[in-house]
Structure 1
């Protein structure tokens, strides 16, 4: 799937899924929902940045009109976009030739590229599992993506190199952290929801 097809798919997916997860406007603002959710998640997960959580979720206008399921879905969508854009970034790094004389870094880049391609597939599958209410499976997919971020960075460190994808790894890790907190910490405990 090309980036333009992926972006079109994600836009359509968000419109369709957010329509099913709209909440009735109440006296509390959605900004409070985002800040409250991020505050709880940051307290429960020390590796999660509260500021990153709030700014990421607020960057999507639809976040003002959704419940926890919608916020979880937004964080997964942002993770898919991040992974997809990182694939393009890594392909550019590989193709521009500046790593041709550094076989260790080139090998690490190729490993990261494969990891990000697998991550994109896992997150797209996770959307299907999410809509089916299979939150445990989504949690496993998201956790796997977080492990990939660490592995990508660790490969460079093991080779004595500085990882050129630190920011991308950090952002994807954080986005997955948000999704994992909401899905596993909140939605999987909702009575009547499927966790298998």
Structure 2
């Protein structure tokens, strides 16, 4: 099965492999997909993940956890960067559908995830999006590795 082989080729740790397989198998089409189709499926999962994270951050804006003003500022950063990431992920999907490289777009989306995480770290605050940021970063990283496999640099 291409999905299993692809996940094995683009991950280095068992945890990452399991995350890759579990994420992709959530989409039934991935069972018979080639690597380019897996890229589109994975990027659509990234888009769904970032969209969910944006919605959760917006909900936290409306009902912020108790804490300092830094928490609200950090949540505002997350809303901004997750909103921006959707543009890059849509562009990545368009490129993948055309079998073009999408590494720059997925890298930018990953930077946005790191920016959200860093906003809480710099404020010395507990990150209420820690799990979501972690999952987004893992999935984005896997997609970057799939792009590198599909479009090796010369």
TM-score when normalising by structure 2:
0.91
Please, what is the CA RMSD of the aligned residues? 1.9
Query: CA–CA distance in 2 between the matches of 1:69 and 1:130?
Result: 7
Q: Distance in 1 between matches of 2:64 and 2:107?
A: 33
Match of 1:36 in 2: 5
Structure number with larger C-alpha Rg: 1
Contact residue 41 and residue 178 of structure 1 kept, 8 A: yes
Whether 1:187 and 2:154 are equivalent positions in the alignment is no
Aligned positions, number: 153
- Cα 1:39–1:97, aligned 2, differ >3 Å: closer, same or farther? closer
For residues 97 and 113 of structure 2, what CA distance do their matches in structure 1 show?
25
TM-score normalised by L of structure 1: 0.72
User: How far 1:98 sits from its partner (Å)?
Assistant: 3.6
CA distance in 1, matches of 2:71, 2:65: 10
Match of 2:82 among 104, 116, 119: 116
Q: Is the 8 A contact 1:122 1:145 kept in 2?
A: yes
CA distance, structure 2, for counterparts of residue 188 and residue 56 of structure 1 = 22
Q: 1:97 to 1:168 in 2, by over 3 A?
A: closer
Q: Which stretches of structure 1, 4 residues or longer, exceed 3 Å deviation after superposition?
A: none
Q: Which runs of 5+ in 1 are unaligned?
A: 1-29, 190-194
Q: Secondary structure at the residue paired with 1:155? A: helix
- Specify the SS of the correspondent of 2:46: helix
